[in-house]
Amino acid sequence: MWKDLLHFHRGHSLILDKDFFLSGRGRLDPQAEMEATIEVYFIREHKIKRESGDTDIVCIYPARYTWLNEKLGLPNFRIDADVCPVLTQWARLDQIESVSVLYVSGYLGNPASSFGHVLLNLKIKGQDELMGLFDTSITYGATVPLNENILLYVLKGLFGGYYATFSDKFFYTHDQVYTNREFRDMWEYTLELTDFEKKMLIYHIAELLTKKFRYYFLSANCAQRMAVLLDIFLDENLHSYRYPAYVPEELFHQMEIIDTERRNKNKSGLIKSIRYIPSAQRYLFYETERLTGEERKTFRDVMKSQQEDFSPLLDELDTQSRINILNALLAYQYYKLMASNEAEADQRLKEFKNKILLARLGLPAQKENPVTIPEIPSPREVSPPSSFNTGLVFERGNDPFPSAGVTVFRKESVGMNALEYNELVALNLVIGVRSDSGRVFVDTFDFLKISDFKTYCIKETKENPLS
């Protein structure tokens, strides 16, 4: 546990900041770091100079000292609002109900986002009506200079040319980017953790914020670091350094395996629940799909009117139809405003949205009729992204031959996945052997194979229906 809290691997800590360690040899010697950590605690004025935040040493390393206190019973040990006001306010231990891990679907508009992304949320009690928007959300990513050359971006990403850090925001900032601007679906896996595991995880995140790691796109990325972080507090392993690549879906497959194994042993599972969070684009698609033919025509007529008075277009319809159309129009305006840069959003678009809102407020209130959005499979319901495979190939006019292959990452077009019949392959290599001659040859080699099909189109927004 101590080595894990220091992120030791192959004889040294993966954390690059010198100020993370209390011993001058701490990055290479975990015992020296433990001795220094204990010694500093017993210095009566164990304070560290900081520009802001708590200065008491237990507030700067709360996970370390909480664990040491469990083992040693440190005298006068306290971490509370009196000793650590800043940490206590950030951690919100009395408000955090659970911890969840979120999978953000792949985004083909950015190569680095093609494989998806992973977030970790500290979930606040009693916030169901707010859909978790004020949860503390932890992300991990590389620090990339603005306007970085694309070739350097690829090379540095693959070979460790960037630093990466953990950072924290409210979840609504990520929801704004992923759901409303990039139109990516998300799945939230709420975990079953004990109160001590939850507290230790939150305290350790506080220790790690802004600390620098080396970033590798394939092996030391957001999914790998989140898996390693959770592994510190789990008996099972979500990550193994044996694999040359680790993609976000691998993390969720391992969570499913651990959950199943626990339940088979009549223990509490790892996964408490799964929540699907559809993109704004998907929400709008199904909002407009439930309009009748006449309502859909009026919707289009109102969209054409823009600055004109559109009330005459609604006068011939009954109250319920007008409500349906205005609700759909509001969803569309929200979609357009969120997808644009809000600071530079078209003022006419905002004024038109206000006109629609005023028209809706002039009609009777009614119980919300939620849009029914069919769920697409979560990461645990589709084939693992990486695999070793063997087979026997039959070709017309030739003898059958055995084959063996490796897939580093593959989302196949057959069967549903988060890309919805699209296909994304990072590397797929199959080697064949001719049984008659023993000749070894490459049967299949795919590197960055992408098939991008538009599986649904919102006609009312005049989107291009072509793939």
Q: Which of the four pLDDT bands, split at 50, 70 and 90, describes residue 413?
A: low
Closest CA relative to residue 188, chosen from 247, 101, 122, 115: 101
> pLDDT confidence of 415, banded at 50, 70, 90?
low
**Amino acid 159: pLDDT:** 93
Q: What integer pLDDT is reported at residue 44 of this predicted model?
A: 53
> What digits encode the pLDDT tens for the residues 189-200?
999 999 999 999
Calculate mean pLDDT across residues 257-271: 95
pLDDT for the residue numbered 347: 78
The mean pLDDT value for 163-189 works out to 92
Each residue of 21-66: pLDDT tens digit? 999 999 999 999 999 999 999 885 555 666 667 889 999 999 999 9
Long-range CB pairs of 370-374, under 8 A, 24+ apart, other chains included: 371/283, 371/286, 371/287, 371/290, 372/286, 373/278, 373/282, 373/283, 373/286
**Per-residue pLDDT, 350:** 83
Which residues have CB under 8 Å from 42's CB, separation 6+? none
Which pLDDT band, with edges at 50, 70 and 90, does 132 fall under? confident
Backbone angles phi, psi at 161, to 5 degrees: -85, 0
DSSP single-letter state for residue 233: T
pLDDT of residue 102: 96
pLDDT number for residue 209: 95
- In this prediction, residue 224 carries a pLDDT of 94
Per-residue confidence (pLDDT) for residue 46, from 0 to 100 = 55
CB contact at 8 A, 279 and 290: no
pLDDT digits (tens, 9 = 90+) for 368-404: 778 888 888 787 777 778 888 899 999 888 889 999 9
CA 315 – CA 467 distance, rounded (Å):
38
Q: Which residues contact 303 (CB under 8 A, 6 or more apart)?
A: 329, 332, 460
Position 128 pLDDT exceeds 90? no
| Res. 445: pLDDT tops 90 | yes
226-249: per-residue pLDDT in tens? Answer: 999 999 999 999 887 566 778 888
The residue ranking higher by pLDDT, 242 or 337, is 337
Query: Rounded to 5 degrees, what are φ and ψ at 442?
Result: -85, 115
Tell me what the mean pLDDT of segment 167-179 comes to: 93
d(CA 252, CA 236): 14
In 3-state terms, what secondary structure has residue 36?
helix
Q: How far is CA 259 from CA 131, 194, 201, 263, 412, in A?
A: 25, 15, 19, 6, 25
Share of the chain above pLDDT 90, in %: 54
What is d(CA 152, CA 6) in angstroms, rounded to the nearest whole number? 31
Predicted confidence (pLDDT) at residue 446 exceeds the cutoff of 60: yes
The token pair at 269 is 């599972």
pLDDT of residue 351: 84
Look at residue 222 in the predicted model and tell me its pLDDT: 94
Which residues are CB-contacts of 423 (< 8 A; sequence separation ≥ 6)? 411, 412, 413, 449, 450, 451
In whole angstroms, give the CA distance from residue 19 to residue 246: 29
Q: Would the pLDDT of 302 be above 90?
A: no
Note the pLDDT of residue 243: 63
Percentage of the residues of the chain whose pLDDT score is greater than 70: 91
Mean pLDDT for the chain overall: 88
The mean per-residue pLDDT over the stretch 211-216 comes to: 96
- Note the pLDDT of residue 27: 97
Residue 404 CB-density burial (10 A; 0-12 exposed, 13-18 middle, 19+ buried): middle
Within 10 Å of residue 274's Cβ, how many Cβ atoms? 18
Q: Which of the pair, 183 or 4, is modelled with greater confidence?
A: 4
Number of other residues whose CB lies within 10 A of the CB of residue 317: 15
State how far the alpha carbon of 24 is from the alpha carbons of 10, 30, 163, in Å.
19, 11, 22
For the record, the structure tokens of 90 come out as 């950030």
Query: Could you read off the pLDDT of 354-370 as tens digits, one per residue?
Result: 999 999 999 999 887 78
Q: How many Å apart are CA 349 and CA 342, to the nearest integer?
A: 11
pLDDT tens digits, 57-116: 999 999 999 999 999 999 999 999 999 999 999 999 999 999 999 999 887 766 667 788
Give me the mean pLDDT over the 279-308 stretch. 85
Partners of residue 166 on adjacent β-strands: 140, 209
Q: Does the structure show a pLDDT above 80 at 312?
A: yes
Burial of 271 (0-12, 13-18, 19+ CB in 10 A): buried
Residue range 266-287: mean pLDDT, rounded: 91
